[in-house]
Structure 1
Amino acid sequence: MFKVYRLTKISALVASALALSACGGGGGGSDATNNPNSGVAPDTTWTAGTYSSASTFKNYCETPRTGTDPYNNNQPYPDKLGAAAHEKMWLRSWTNETYLWYDEVPDNNPANFTVSEFFKQLKTTQLTDSGAAKDQFHFAQNTADYKKETQAGVVSGYGIEWSAIARSAPRDFKVAFTEPNSPAANAGIERGFKLTYVNGVDFINDNTQAGVNTINAALFPSGTGETHQFTFLNRANQTVTVNLTSADLESSPVQNIKILDSAQGKVGYVQFNAHIAKAQDGLISAVKQFSDANVSDLVVDLRYNGGGLLALASQFAYMVAGDNATASRTFEQTVFNDKTTPSAPTPFYSKQIDYSASVLTNTNLPSLSLNRVFVLTTSQTCSASEAFINGLQGIDVEVIQIGGQTCGKPYGFYPTDNCSTTYFSIQFSGVNAKGFGDYADGFKPSLAPQYDDQIKGCDLSDDFSKVLGDPSERLLNGALTYINTGSCPVNKTQMRSAPKPSYTHNKEDVFDIRYQSFLLENKINAQPIKQEQ
């Protein structure tokens, strides 16, 4: 989802994919070029329908950063003293130049908005065929926090990934998983624990502003070292109360690598939580283990993977399909607005990538050369995860979907930094080698697919009664049942007909979009939910 740097030919290809985050072809990488502006702040007079170049206003900030950027080789920050009006005018011109649907954005007077409010309305208001918002992935994030997570894999919090089953009272938040060695994991918090009280406030039912403020302060600590009390019901319906202290945590994007037995042979299973740079080593390790075990099938658990780097999705797709299926084939072609020069397609990367330098190395990736793969999905499966599915389908690798409808994000953006905020605004859509990318309402598992956004598989609800990787857990069991029998589980109580999931970005992407907890953009509110879009 982001800005492509024209480096060398090979570097440009990698950068365009490395940067892609939280989308069916998202990208990543903030603008770290030197400020080209002169020392004289430009005029900020607004004239409807008339746009100056975005570069005119770039890096003129109401509150310039000082010092050096630890995530850009300690180079000085490019900020110059300006005003909020300069930041808004930059957003206006940048949107007009790069936004995929720029001609659907109203040209409102920036003077009527704060900077953050102005950005929020710089998007299309049109709907998809299902009636959902066409653009559900328009958000901004503090630049330091964004870089810390995407480049270093570090996030602040308790180590809990939440699944928000119901965001309005009566609320239902369950623990999806915890990060190893995190405050939550060390306190014995596990998958399936249901949140009931936060600092003594009834999390499920309290709808007062004071209660909501208390809940938000605890769920979203402003920094490390904050201690808050959480009460849960565990999987045995017993009350568990713990005090958790927020900390900087290294995320573990690849977990639970397992070799499982089936009637048809060995099955590899891997829980893949986020397409971030540090996942490359974990995926390579997993694929080597699967290759050594001579697995005949692979189950990739993407149910909480909100997206990230498109290049990583391409690499993993190569590791699944191998040389013969991917040679000279396109993983994803990006489609921009009519003001943007088309870019080269993203190939299936067969080499390791130095993500810190945005260059391909000469080190080959391992591969399994499978002609099918099972993916476990929910409405939190988004962006680069969907690109992984779509890219493999584009080269006729059979994808079998077990679980729920995905979030629906065939779009990408190049995260762009201006004045200590990183902005995410849809800048392209992605299509596979067959030219398909129309899954704005998500991929849907179906016993008898009739449409291109339907995938052969089993429509099953998420199962919080078991830990991830347990062969008896509903989604994994559904995949194993399909491997053994060629059909979905016969227990119809496990089957469902899922409605279109209601999704408003996380990041992815948080996202996921999962650069932070997907809840970051969906704080609890007495209204009953505050949607930061």
Structure 2
Amino acid sequence: MKSTTSLLSCAAMAVMLTACGGSSTPAVVVPDPVPPPDPVPVVYADAAPGSSLDLWNRCEVMHPGGVQNQPGTQADEKGFIRAITQETYLWNSEVPAIKATDYPTVVAYFNALKTPKLLANGRPKDRFHYSYPREVWEALSSGVELSYGISWNAGANQVPRQWRIAMVDAGSPAERAGLRRGDQLIMIDNEDFIYRGDSDAVARFNAALAPTKADQPHRFTWWRDGRAFDTALTVGSVNALSVQAVQLLDTPSGKTGYLNFTSHNAPAERQLYEAMMGFSNAGVKELVLDMRYNGGGQISIASQLAYMIAGPAASSGKVFMRYATNGRLNPGRPTSFLDFGIGFASTQPLPFGTKLPHLDLKRVTLLTGPGTCSASEALINGLRGIDIEVRLVGGQTCGKPYAFVPMTNCGTTYFMVQYQGTNNKGWGDFDEGFAPDCRVDDDMGHALGDPAESLLATALRLNAGASCAAVAARQGGRSAAAPLAAGSTPDRTSGDSDAATVQVRSPLKEISILPERR
């Protein structure tokens, strides 16, 4: 793909530059004794030597639709992973010493080539290292996903689990089964989902929550309004809207625009354009962006949205995001506040060069939570970098100031952290997330976009001049998403903490992708 070619070319240039020069060896008959050299690190042992450009698409198995596939070996494919890690991975100096032959597959080898370090809060420093089959990635990037059409509110994601449905996509298997926001998951395939935390059970839960084929039905048991009920679900191709529940609200502070924005993907470009054009024509004075479940996507989409919020006076000549790298990878050009349509490929693309509307707002309110990640956080940081007031209502964001260019090799698309983004002021250290100005629990009892829903209601009161403390007092200090009362579900025996992590959503939901050409 074009992005891979560009990236590999930069890496190859770095290799050429470091290979320049030489030294002469003095002629001696008997050299003085010297200590033995340090052991050669085995970090990349048994993978083919060479640069990523040399090894690109030298494949053990030919893949239909592959670009410039050539016959190769597994060692060649592992060599490509070795080389691209050396050349582009942000923390390449922290990669552990491992042998390629200790891993049975290329993907298993790739998964191990990342930093093992932890953040101050105990979370892994790199939680964003993964791969997809090429055809799956291409479908996902166009907005099509093989899923049930469910977004989750998973709390702390440990036993006892309190997983509730946060959002159901229109036309999805979940909607057809009658599921709705607020339903709590209590069993999967007749196994206790609330308290089972052993590795084998977690593996079965993950297989049921994210099946890879559409012929794998699973049975789910739910709790709603004091009773349990079952559904049988089979995943299907879900083409969910990235921009939903767009509405104009009449408030004391003037016309307020609201929209639920779930993904910075290709279809979002036109959907955001149309929503913001409507807000501009209506003369909105306040904007509430519901991004509590938006895990990221294209940085270009985030920069377009930032421009449409701030307008040309605030953003002209300013940088939306600069990029820092490992020192070997060329950081490329900064991303500006884009004021035109790029024309990302989708069923209804926005024509390239379309002039974007702008609201010229001095402040914006975002509804956030742990699912607010990556490109969504870049929007926050980018706007604050040009002194637009960004108020956050809800929960702490996920913490991902990083980005990458997807790299496809031999039928698999790989994602590794390659860039750290900073704003116009040079700041981007939010790897533990952004704290909310007003901490409010997600409200499972109201639909998204309902002015009575706790996060939106808080945002509207803030815009009307109330303080966070006043809003909290009005709520009576109670959680809008209180867990089920003890004994309201069938009796469970206590269990240990999860021995493995149940996957709340695919890694694709927490990404920042750079344009193919920078």
TM-score in terms of structure 2 length? 0.81
> Residue type of the partner of 1:345?
P
1:484 paired to 2:464: yes
1:229 to 190, 215, 219: 219
- The change in CA–CA distance for 1:504 and 1:425 in structure 2 (over 3 A counts) is farther
> Residue type of the partner of 1:148?
A
Is the contact between residue 466 and residue 473 of structure 1 (CA under 8 Å) also seen in structure 2?
A: yes
Whole-angstrom distance in 1 between the partners of 2:194 and 2:354:
51
SS at 2:405's partner residue? coil
- The Cα of 1:472 is off from its aligned counterpart by 1.2
Whole-angstrom distance in 1 between the partners of 2:207 and 2:399:
30
1:367 paired to 2:358: yes
1:400 to 369, 388, 391: 391
> Residue type of the partner of 1:120?
N
Q: 1:413-465: per-residue Cα shift (whole Å, max 9, x none)?
A: 111111222111110100000001011111112xxxxxxxxxxx201121212
Higher-RCO chain (CA-CA 8 Å, sequence separation at least 6): 1
For structure 1, the 5+ residue unaligned runs are 8-15, 17-43, 69-75, 446-456, 497-501, 516-533
What residue is the counterpart of 1:280 in the other structure?
Answer: 269
1:267 paired to 2:256: yes
Whole-angstrom distance in 1 between the partners of 2:379 and 2:466:
23
What residue is the counterpart of 1:19 in the other structure?
Answer: none
Is the contact between residue 130 and residue 507 of structure 2 (CA under 8 Å) also seen in structure 1?
A: no
User: Would you say how many aligned residue pairs link Structure 1 and Structure 2?
Assistant: 453
What residue is the counterpart of 1:10 in the other structure?
Answer: none
SS at 2:352's partner residue? strand
1:145 to 128, 136, 144: 136
2:57 to 47, 56, 59: 59
Whole-angstrom distance in 1 between the partners of 2:254 and 2:326:
47
Whole-angstrom distance in 2 between the partners of 1:356 and 1:123:
32
1:382 paired to 2:382: no
Is the contact between residue 63 and residue 411 of structure 2 (CA under 8 Å) also seen in structure 1?
A: yes
Provide the identity percentage. Answer: 38
What residue is the counterpart of 1:159 in the other structure?
Answer: 149
2:314 to 315, 321, 325: 325
What residue is the counterpart of 1:305 in the other structure?
Answer: 294
1:468 paired to 2:448: yes
Whole-angstrom distance in 2 between the partners of 1:222 and 1:486:
48
Whole-angstrom distance in 2 between the partners of 1:173 and 1:268:
30
Q: 1:124-169: per-residue Cα shift (whole Å, max 9, x none)?
A: 2223343432212111122211110102x11112111122224333
1:493 to 448, 470, 477: 477
Q: Which range is displaced more, 208-217 or 281-290?
A: 208-217
- The change in CA–CA distance for 1:503 and 1:415 in structure 2 (over 3 A counts) is farther
- The Cα of 1:45 is off from its aligned counterpart by 12
Whole-angstrom distance in 2 between the partners of 1:363 and 1:133:
41
Whole-angstrom distance in 2 between the partners of 1:308 and 1:301:
16
For structure 2, the 5+ residue unaligned runs are 11-41, 481-499, 514-518
- The Cα of 1:5 is off from its aligned counterpart by 6.1
- The Cα of 1:212 is off from its aligned counterpart by 4.7
- The change in CA–CA distance for 1:349 and 1:504 in structure 2 (over 3 A counts) is farther
1:347 to 336, 359, 365: 336
TM-score in terms of structure 1 length? 0.79
- The change in CA–CA distance for 1:109 and 1:6 in structure 2 (over 3 A counts) is closer
Whole-angstrom distance in 1 between the partners of 2:279 and 2:52:
49
Whole-angstrom distance in 1 between the partners of 2:394 and 2:202:
32
Whole-angstrom distance in 1 between the partners of 2:503 and 2:367:
20
> Residue type of the partner of 1:195?
L
- The Cα of 1:508 is off from its aligned counterpart by 7.2
SS at 1:146's partner residue? helix
What residue is the counterpart of 1:22 in the other structure?
Answer: none
What residue is the counterpart of 1:81 in the other structure?
Answer: 71
SS at 1:385's partner residue? helix
> Residue type of the partner of 1:278?
P
Whole-angstrom distance in 2 between the partners of 1:420 and 1:107:
26
What residue is the counterpart of 1:530 in the other structure?
Answer: none
> Residue type of the partner of 1:479?
A
> Residue type of the partner of 1:231?
T
Q: 1:297-344: per-residue Cα shift (whole Å, max 9, x none)?
A: 000011010000000000011111111111111110111121122311
Whole-angstrom distance in 2 between the partners of 1:487 and 1:478:
9
Q: Which range is displaced more, 458-467 or 400-409?
A: 458-467
- The Cα of 1:237 is off from its aligned counterpart by 3.0
1:295 paired to 2:279: no
- The change in CA–CA distance for 1:127 and 1:228 in structure 2 (over 3 A counts) is closer
Larger radius of gyration: 2
2:406 to 411, 415, 423: 415
Q: Which range is displaced more, 484-493 or 421-430?
A: 484-493
- The Cα of 1:178 is off from its aligned counterpart by 0.8
What do you get for the CA RMSD once the two structures are aligned?
A: 3.0
Is the contact between residue 315 and residue 351 of structure 1 (CA under 8 Å) also seen in structure 2?
A: yes
SS at 2:508's partner residue? coil
- The Cα of 1:202 is off from its aligned counterpart by 2.3
SS at 2:370's partner residue? coil
Is the contact between residue 175 and residue 191 of structure 1 (CA under 8 Å) also seen in structure 2?
A: yes
Is the contact between residue 47 and residue 79 of structure 2 (CA under 8 Å) also seen in structure 1?
A: no
- The Cα of 1:47 is off from its aligned counterpart by 5.5
> Residue type of the partner of 2:118?
L
Q: How does 1:117-136 map to 2 (within 5 A)?
A: 117-136=108-127
Q: 1:349-388: per-residue Cα shift (whole Å, max 9, x none)?
A: 1001112399982210111111100001111110000000
> Residue type of the partner of 2:63?
R
Whole-angstrom distance in 2 between the partners of 1:468 and 1:149:
24
Q: Which range is displaced more, 284-293 or 327-336?
A: 284-293
